[in-house]
Amino acid sequence: MKIIETDIAIIGAGPVGLFAVFEAGLLKMRCHLIDALPQVGGQLSEIYPRKPIYDIPGYPTIDAQDLVDRLMEQIAPFNPSFTLGERVEQLEKQEDGSYHVISNEGTIIHAQVVVIAGGLGSFEPRRPDLRGILDYEGRGGVNYFVKNPETYRDKRVVIAGGGDSALDWTIYLSDVAEHLTLVHRSETFRGAPDSAQKVFNLAEQGKIDLLLQSNLSSVHGDNGQLQQVGVTDKSKEETLLNVDYLIPLFGLSPKLGPIGEWGLNIEKSAVAVDTFDYSTNVERIYAIGDINTYPGKLKLILCGFHEAALMCQSAFKYVYPNEKLSFKYTTVNGIHAF
Amino acid sequence: MNTDIIRIQVEGPDNHVQELEIPDGINLSLMEILKASEYDILATCGGMALCATCHVQVLEGMEKLEERNDAEMDMLDTLPNAEDNSRLACQIKVSPAIDGLRIKVSQNI
């Protein structure tokens, strides 16, 4: 497995993780970012891309996604690299004090410094509260992502959910699966109106089964392999559907996850830091943005920006142990792109 | 001066029931009160009806609350375990009108 070499590994590519690239770049430190989401921007791109933010200094108002785009522009001169759609599982300290940051897909990032800019935790799919569903996750037939659509060719598939994800995959897989059922708890869909219309049309044409005002109620199988899914309708009567795959698409929700297992001081799902430099109790590991906590902490993007600046001044000594840090203003020094 | 006290009964994930007393005029949502009262509410989106992590169930007093708006209904739809008495706490303004409300806070999914 190829190892990605960098100066600073940043866990989380939300606004604070992104801005840290800029502050690091001013000090000639390279960064590689890793995020569980398939796109950069963290909570901003995932939850509220079109909402205006009013408290970013210099912007009376700016839409969340626009802020992300501008940050990407601002850090471009420092050539950051990204691993997206993967969650960091463990940190392995090397003999020289540096770290291997390892993802759930086996990607390894080797860095002198690790910066956790994880926000509220990695976004993970919402799991329906069905007894035994854990037994069927992964290879057992319950999938929360569609990684390879061909997996579902000629299979009996149930998709549950009412947003764009559920609609888009229903439309796509209706041509791939042998039989497809979409289960949704209300009568209307949250997703894009034309996607919703396409789904209604597919149902009318008999290409899919559309179960509205219905909920998943149970899962059954044999030997870890999913065989049936129970669905209840308005009248609370349960019908059992014979299936090969269940794809619950109920959106994403953040979880602290592995961050809680790295020996860091955690207080109420946040990483305690020293406000001198936002370092944690483990040397070379820092935490900035919503993920950290300290007396007086405010979960504001602008606070995360400040924390990133101070953190980088401290991280310098691990990346350039033989050099003296001299603070330079961008107005005096300019920006030297990598 | 007579200040109204708004009383809300909260059944936590451990089934322990606590009565919260909130002075009128505090201008917060139920989500903010629950967070301040140390309940494990993520409130990822900060109260914009964009994340559904402040989901609560109204055990008594549903009629005291204003109707759900579209954004709230859309978000509740995303929850696999939403029921007819589900509400987003961030969309409920704490006011004397909701005095006597009884809600249940579940474990975060």
Spatial separation of the C-alpha atoms in residues B78 and A234, rounded to whole Å:
17
Judged by CB atoms closer than 8 Å, whether chains meet at B80 and A127 is answered as: yes
Supply the CATH number for residue A139's domain. 3.50.50.60
The topology (CATH level 3) of B5-104 is Ubiquitin-like (UB roll) (3.10.20)
Question: Where does a domain end: A250, A284, A304?
Answer: A250
How far is A246 from B94, CA to CA, in rounded Å? 40
pLDDT category, B108, cuts 50, 70, 90?
Answer: low
Interface pTM (ipTM) of the complex? Answer: 0.77
Q: Which residue has the tokens 């009262």?
A: B37
Instruction: Tell the burial category of A242 from Cβ atoms under 10 Å away from its Cβ (0-12, 13-18, 19+).
Output: exposed
Q: A169-220 pLDDT, tens per residue? A: 999 999 999 999 999 988 888 778 999 999 999 999 999 999 999 999 999 9
Range of the structural domain that residue A326 is part of: 3-124+253-333
Q: Where are the alpha helices (DSSP H) in A90-131?
A: none
- For residue A316, the distance in angstroms to the closest alpha carbon of chain B comes to 32
Question: In this structure, are residues A171 and A202 in contact, taking their beta carbons and an 8 Å threshold?
Answer: yes
pLDDT band at B109 (very low <50, low <70, confident <90, very high): very low
Write out residues in chain A with pLDDT < 50, as ranges: none
Residue-level pLDDT at B74: 84
Query: What is the mean predicted confidence (pLDDT) over B9-36?
Result: 93
Per-residue model confidence (pLDDT) at position B1: 43
Alpha-carbon gap, residue A62 to B33, rounded angstroms = 29
pTM to 2 decimal places: 0.85
Buried b / exposed e over A165-197, threshold 16 CB at 10 Å, is bbbbbbbebbebbebbbbbbbeeebbbeeebbe
pLDDT at B2 over 70: no
Rg (CA), chain B: 13
Residue A210 and residue A221: Cα distance in Å, rounded? 23
What count of other Cβ atoms lies within 10 Å of the Cβ of residue A267?
A: 10
Place of tokens 């998943």: A216
Residue of B nearest to A119 (CA): B44
At A289-309, the pLDDT tens digits run: 999 999 999 999 999 999 999
Structure token pair of residue A235: 């009248």
Domain layout of chain B by residue ranges: 5-104
pLDDT digits (tens, 9 = 90+) for A319-336: 999 999 988 899 988 999
> Looking at the 3D structure of chain A, how many domains does it have?
2
Q: Determine the pLDDT at residue B4.
A: 83
Neighbours of B32 (CB within 10 A): 19
Chain B residues in contact with A48 (beta carbon < 8 A):
45, 48, 50
pLDDT of residue A175: 95
